[in-house]
Structure 1
């Protein structure tokens, strides 16, 4: 029976994770509270609700020391009048809000990047996503965000679906899925982001980890991960390099050489 890095991988994932009791998360929580308070104050009656979603709420966000692109997503749902409000109108409102409250303050930066407005602070980035709510003929509320294809159109979304799905599959597979996601996101960040972070999470969440532990689940995810045929060759090379290095990890575990196995492991994962 080969050596195992199961507990080692679990500990690595834990170290990458932005933990609830850390000083970093305390600072971020303060920034989140300030952001939400400023949104309430500036928009007042124009605001229907605002809430945090994304990796921050799903428990898959990494420390910025591991992933410089770690951010907090905030859905900003406006009180909508169909005849007078477009996605671009709301984005302009959010850009003005961010400029007023954050631009050029303590090194902060504000960017308007479709479909969000990004606020870069020293300790965290915020992505502000404009949204609207509509009620259908069944009296069901539907949430809409700007369409990725046309800046003047809307597309339906449900940010809660992703969180619920991940919680479900994580429980189904003995709570290893979030750990594997954190490991894969750490590799992705270390290697120049060949995958969009959200897409990477969804790809791993769709995998079958039946009877896996942290190690076998991570190795399985590495082999199952794929890129679209049209992806840049540089991205394909990074994925092939990942698979090669993990194959070397397996070889040295089979040879009972954990030191060299860890050497190859850290060619793809940060310490």
Structure 2
């Protein structure tokens, strides 16, 4: 086994397969029906978005916190975010009384037996189509910020195509490392970081020498940096990742591929 074949194996295992996908699909259909029954004309739209739409969602066997993002767009727009979060909490209490429900700013988390839903309250934006207002982290979720949830999907499709169809596999393997290490990064932030690292500007010539998933993995890990306010435990996780990748490269350079794979398995533990 080589470094690249092991990474590819992990990326392939990190795909949500048919049975799990069908369970999620049924749950989304039920959620949609219950939202319509409960809120009726008080909503202008509601839809699935995020990693479950981008083929970068992790199966539960590799990430117990894997979730489906679901945006609920309210018609009236006169209130602060907490008002709409309270409405979603009441909806969840009534329609999913046997499930675990909690508020985790800026969402309501609805935990079913096979999946978590993150219910995101939203308002339509006045600026452009397909743009919405969601609770703003910078205001401690007391105000709104504009977002285009489908934009990242478009960017990912383009980036993946221009990078040998290896960006989605890279996202999945890095998200597995993130889950194993108790989430040094928010899942969405990781996807954004990877997209920015391999962004393809359509208006200028760019050349990426990467040909294999292994190459993309090395380049991304090399580019990870700490923020000044990162906690010590996060710095330690990132530092250990970088150190192990350095060891892998040294083994590879000496022709000791099997030793390199052994170190890689410490980063990405084999699944039972």
The answer to whether TM tops 0.5 is: yes
Match of 2:83 among 78, 82, 89: 89
Deviation at 1:7, TM superposition (A): 2.9
After superposition, the CA RMSD in angstroms is 1.8
SS, match of residue 267 in structure 2: coil
> Does 2:170 correspond to 1:196?
no
> Does 2:93 correspond to 1:60?
no
Task: Tell whether the 8 Å contact from 1:186 to 1:270 is kept in structure 2 after alignment.
Answer: no
Task: Tell whether the 8 Å contact from 1:4 to 1:215 is kept in structure 2 after alignment.
Answer: no
State the TM-score, normalizing by the size of structure 2: 0.90
Match of 1:117 among 80, 84, 108: 108
Query: Residue 167 of structure 1 corresponds to which residue in structure 2?
Result: 157
> Does 2:26 correspond to 1:30?
yes
Query: Residue 146 of structure 2 corresponds to which residue in structure 1?
Result: 156
Task: Tell whether the 8 Å contact from 1:66 to 1:270 is kept in structure 2 after alignment.
Answer: no
Structure 1 pair 190/48, CA: closer, same or farther in 2 (3 Å)?
A: same
Deviation at 1:140, TM superposition (A): 5.3
Task: Tell whether the 8 Å contact from 1:135 to 1:141 is kept in structure 2 after alignment.
Answer: no
Q: Provide, for residues 208-229 of structure 1, a one-character-per-residue CA deviation record: whole Å limited to 9, x for no partner.
A: 3812120010111111112211
Q: Provide, for residues 50-83 of structure 1, a one-character-per-residue CA deviation record: whole Å limited to 9, x for no partner.
A: 011111111111111111111000000011243x
Deviation at 1:206, TM superposition (A): 0.7
5+ residue gaps, structure 1: none
Query: Residue 219 of structure 2 corresponds to which residue in structure 1?
Result: 220
Within 1, Cα distance between the matches of 2:149 and 2:242? Answer: 32
Within 2, Cα distance between the matches of 1:120 and 1:41? Answer: 20
Q: Provide, for residues 95-116 of structure 1, a one-character-per-residue CA deviation record: whole Å limited to 9, x for no partner.
A: 001111113x2xx200012111
State the TM-score, normalizing by the size of structure 1: 0.90
SS, match of residue 251 in structure 1: helix
In the TM superposition, 1:2-151 aligns within 5 A as: 4-19=2-17, 22-82=18-78, 85-103=79-97, 105=98, 108-136=99-127, 142-148=131-137, 149-151=139-141
Structure 1 pair 236/151, CA: closer, same or farther in 2 (3 Å)?
A: closer
Within 2, Cα distance between the matches of 1:126 and 1:143? Answer: 19
Within 1, Cα distance between the matches of 2:188 and 2:241? Answer: 19
Within 1, Cα distance between the matches of 2:142 and 2:192? Answer: 27
Aligned length: 260
> Does 2:168 correspond to 1:178?
yes
User: Which has the larger displacement, 46-55 or 244-253?
Assistant: 244-253
5+ residue gaps, structure 2: 200-207
